[in-house]
Chains A and B, each alone.
Chain A
């Protein structure tokens, strides 16, 4: 029987040297104590950030035109969510990894109809508003092309949208019920009622904030606040935290790809970066089996820093 050749990156020599005393419980206890003390010291000295969540109410009061424009984009189908594709709708193919359309393959699983979910249904929940109800009835009974005409006319005029005397002002004609719908939705948002309407669509108890978060992220208000907090994608946003806190520093490599070409300009950046990180993770997982990768430790000689006493003793003998 032939003896298998020793592979230095796979096999380990049998240890024939000595042993020294080792108190594993003491070591663990000291480590626990040190970590606990460090945790308390850092917490006392630095604390932790807690920027309050913004609401649709705060958004629509701080930036009513941005809110109303976003609401209009939900209605005319040009918002990010309206054009997203899977898992929310079928408006687009979504991101592609080469020929692979992964999201599209999985399909629409969290259906979002921006017209009904963000505009019509919340307005319907408003009690005792005869003019609004009449306009909603007009919207409901109109054909698709009529609705489209109203929305297009309003959208064209909305380039000059203003907020005057607590009202949305858009000089338009032939927009049917759209002006009332946008104005009433804005007033509903400013009162806080839209927050509730979007959250409670699934019933009294809910922990699902998909709708309000999608609506918020379709506007520019949330993104502007995030940019001020150095959280935007081009600012290594995913690994940052509000304030001057370390955040998820371990996501540095993931965030890094978004800063360089082709990822920082590609419409498929997310799926490309995810694909790359999956490959990197797989490489790390299978490092023991990948020739070249598994030889770096031996050839780099960094291990000599770790075992310097052992090699010093070897040199002596």
Chain B
């Protein structure tokens, strides 16, 4: 097989492209610019850590099925860990989001990083909502019967029926987590490719 032929392979081309965009030292850096020295930077990695705990606790709940936590004290405890990791996840993500907004973190060709972050936030809200909708208790009865009016009013309720427990559960445990995790991966890779946004120039606030 000739070198030219190997070079033309999709696999070779993809590998070269990925390696060019994201060499190992960028993917797993061991240094960072000195301006990255604030507590606000902690909330990005905290969001990811919370996402891991959310998924792990959700997987434990999935082992015994959706009714387990209603009848078992162990199940209720696992449900508590799922709930609180979600609360931590959203707290960290909202602080991260506003922190990035006030850093104008989209500057320098980082608009896609910002946008994937926002879409991940919105997807996470949908994922959390479907979780609340599929609790199969009084809370979910009330939430779904109220939320249906908003979703129905947009026309989406015809296809996204919040009163259908099976549909909500599948969205909660399969579709939305898949999208959220995929978007998170893209978001993090974009951060690694583009780097952390540098500070504004001194006196930038007075520029028009």
- Which residues of A in the span 261-317 have a Cβ within 8 Å of any Cβ on B? 268, 270-271, 273-274, 281, 284-289, 294, 297-303, 305-311, 314
- Confirm or deny: B65 has a beta carbon within 8 angstroms of a beta carbon on chain A: no
Question: Please, which residues of chain A bring their CB within 8 A of the CB of B152?
Answer: 84, 86-87, 94, 103, 270
Q: Which residues of A contact B32 (CB under 8 A)?
A: 19-20, 22
Chain B residues whose C-beta falls within 8 Å of the C-beta of A303 in the assembled complex = 102-104, 199-200
CB-defined contacts of A54 to chain B, threshold 8 Å: 138, 141
Chain A residue with the shortest CB-CB distance to B66:
A207
**Is A116 close to B, CB under 8 A?**
no
User: A297, B159: Cβ atoms under 8 Å?
Assistant: no
Q: Which residue on A lies nearest to B50, using beta carbons?
A: A35
* B residues 30-48 touching A (CB-CB < 8 Å): 30-38, 40, 42, 45-46, 48
A246 and B87 within 8 A (CB): yes
Q: Which residues of chain A are within 8 angstroms of B167 by Cβ–Cβ distance?
A: 207-208
Is the beta-carbon distance between A216 and B52 smaller than 8 angstroms? no
Answer whether residue A99 sits at the interface, using C-beta atoms and an 8 A cutoff.
Answer: no
Measured between alpha carbons, how far is A214 from B50 in the docked complex, in Å?
A: 36
A12 with B198, Cβ < 8 A, contacts A288-B106, A298-B205, A303-B102 known? yes
Given A213-B141, A248-B129, A250-B90, A288 contacting B149 (CB threshold 8 A): no
Q: Indicate if B22 sits at the interface (CB-CB under 8 A).
A: no
Of all chain B residues, the one with the shortest Cβ separation from A41 is B84
Known: A8-B204, A21-B31, A207-B165. A31 touches B42 (CB 8 A): yes
Nearest A residue (CB) for B69: A50
A233 to B165, CA, bound (A): 22
B111 lies within 8 A of A47 (CB):
no
- Interface residue B83 (Cβ < 8 Å from any Cβ of A): yes
CA distance A109 to B28 in the complex (A): 50
Q: Is the CB of B137 within 8 A of A53?
A: yes
Residue of B nearest to A85 (CB): B152
Q: Is B207 an interface residue (CB 8 A)?
A: yes
Contact yes or no, A103 B142, CB < 8 A: no
Given the complex, which residues of B lie within 8 Å of A9, measured CB to CB?
A: 104, 107
Q: Are A270 and B149 in contact (CB under 8 A)?
A: yes
Contact A20/B70 with A52-B138, A309-B37 known, Cβ cut-off 8 Å: no
Query: Cβ of B33 and Cβ of A40 under 8 Å apart?
Result: no
Complex: A103 Cα to B202 Cα, angstroms:
52
Q: Which of A68-76, A133-141, A237-245 contacts B (4 or more CB under 8 A)?
A: A237-245
Question: Of B50, B149, B200, which is within 8 A of A298 by CB?
Answer: B200
Encode contact with B along A140-182: 1 for CB under 8 Å, 0 otherwise: 0000000000000000000000000000000000000000000
Sorting the interface of chain B by its residue count into under 10, 10 to 19, 20 to 34 or 35 or more gives 35 or more
CA distance A251 to B70 in the complex (A): 26
Within the complex, the shortest CB–CB distance from A170 to chain B, in Å, comes to 28
Interface residues of chain B: helix, strand, loop or mixed (majority): helix
Chain A residues near B70 (CB, 8 Å)? 50, 52
Q: Give A1-59 interface residues, CB cut-off 8 Å to B.
A: 8-15, 17-25, 27-28, 31-32, 34-36, 38-40, 42-43, 46-54
Interface check A91, CB cutoff 8 A: no
Q: Does B153 contact A (CB under 8 A)?
A: yes
Closest CB of chain B to A64's CB: distance in Å? 20
**Using Cβ atoms and an 8 Å threshold, which residues of chain B touch A231?**
139, 142
Query: With contacts A50-B137, A106-B155, A109-B159 known, is A35 near B147, CB below 8 A?
Result: no
What is the chain A residue whose CB lies nearest that of B116?
Answer: A285
Query: For the complex, what is the distance from the CA of A271 to the CA of B164, rounded to whole Å?
Result: 21
B170, closest chain A residue (CB)? A207
In the complex formed, the residue of A with least CB distance to B192 is: A24
Sample of 26 A–B contacts (CB below 8 Å): A10-B106, A11-B107, A12-B109, A14-B198, A31-B49, A32-B53, A43-B77, A48-B76, A50-B69, A53-B140, A54-B141, A102-B154, A103-B158, A109-B158, A213-B145, A216-B141, A238-B143, A248-B132, A251-B125, A281-B118, A288-B111, A294-B104, A303-B102, A303-B103, A306-B199, A311-B202
**What 9 A-B pairs come out closest when comparing CB atoms?**
A207-B166, A12-B108, A288-B106, A109-B158, A43-B80, A271-B153, A51-B138, A217-B145, A102-B155
B residues adjacent to A (C-beta < 8 A): 28-38, 40, 42, 45-46, 48-50, 52-53, 57, 69-70, 76-77, 79-85, 87-88, 90, 94, 99, 101-104, 106-111, 114-115, 118-119, 122, 125, 128-129, 132, 135-147, 149-155, 157-159, 161, 163-167, 169, 195, 197-202, 204-205, 207
| 18 more A-B residue pairs beyond the given contacts A8-B204, A306-B40, A307-B103, with a C-beta to C-beta distance below 8 A | A31-B42, A34-B46, A43-B83, A46-B84, A47-B76, A50-B70, A50-B76, A53-B138, A95-B149, A106-B155, A109-B159, A110-B158, A245-B83, A246-B87, A270-B152, A294-B104, A297-B102, A306-B102
